[in-house]
Structure 1
């Protein structure tokens, strides 16, 4: 009985800390962007990608450690937090890849038009 109580308390505490840290990161990032007049803040995108990449990996490691320690509720809680973070990471990477492809396509088309106009 005591191990289940400790397991549930650990799951709740870890999940609350992780969610609080992520909300705080996004809030501070929003404040910095608001202070800069809506312009992107240098380096903030890299920090966000680092958090979104290291977050699910760390949660997976914590979940694996919880399973090895015999704490199933903590492992499930870590997995349930890791899944949406991985989804946000996948959506963000898909958006960045599509932006990169669109920029490359525009540059290629502009170069082709420039060559046709000269020749």
Structure 2
């Protein structure tokens, strides 16, 4: 009976925490999108920094929570936290790659324009 209660607590905590984390991330993206819409498509000045902060602190926090669940003997909750941490880390890598690509393209465009101005 006690073993069954542990499994129920494990499943409920995994589902509840996963739902709360997804809701928080969705709310963050919604507010960032609303700020971008209010700026008429232009990106707000600190949007990229906030994005990277959330996607850096998020997986670290999930790893700590997952380890705590592991130590408490709740493997399903630990697994759900590990999967969410992996998804957030993947989003961080993809977002970082996109920002690096944008930076490289802007820099090469500026250098091209400078070369054109100097050659005239």
Q: Shorter-normalised TM-score: what interval?
A: 0.7 to 0.9
1:93 aligns with 2:92: no
Query: Any unmatched runs of 5+ in structure 1?
Result: none
CA deviation after TM superposition for structure 1 residue 69, in Å: 1.5
CA deviation after TM superposition for structure 1 residue 108, in Å: 2.8
**Runs of 4+ residues over 6 Å off in structure 1:** none
1:40-83 Cα offsets, whole Å, 9 max, x none, are 22322221211111111111111111111211011101011112
Q: Could you tell me the TM-score, scaled by structure 2's length? A: 0.86
Query: Any unmatched runs of 5+ in structure 2?
Result: none
* 1:41 equivalent in structure 2: 44
Residues matched between the structures, number: 117
1:13-35 Cα offsets, whole Å, 9 max, x none, are 11011000000111111122222
Say what the alpha-carbon RMSD is for the aligned residues: 1.5
1:61 aligns with 2:73: no
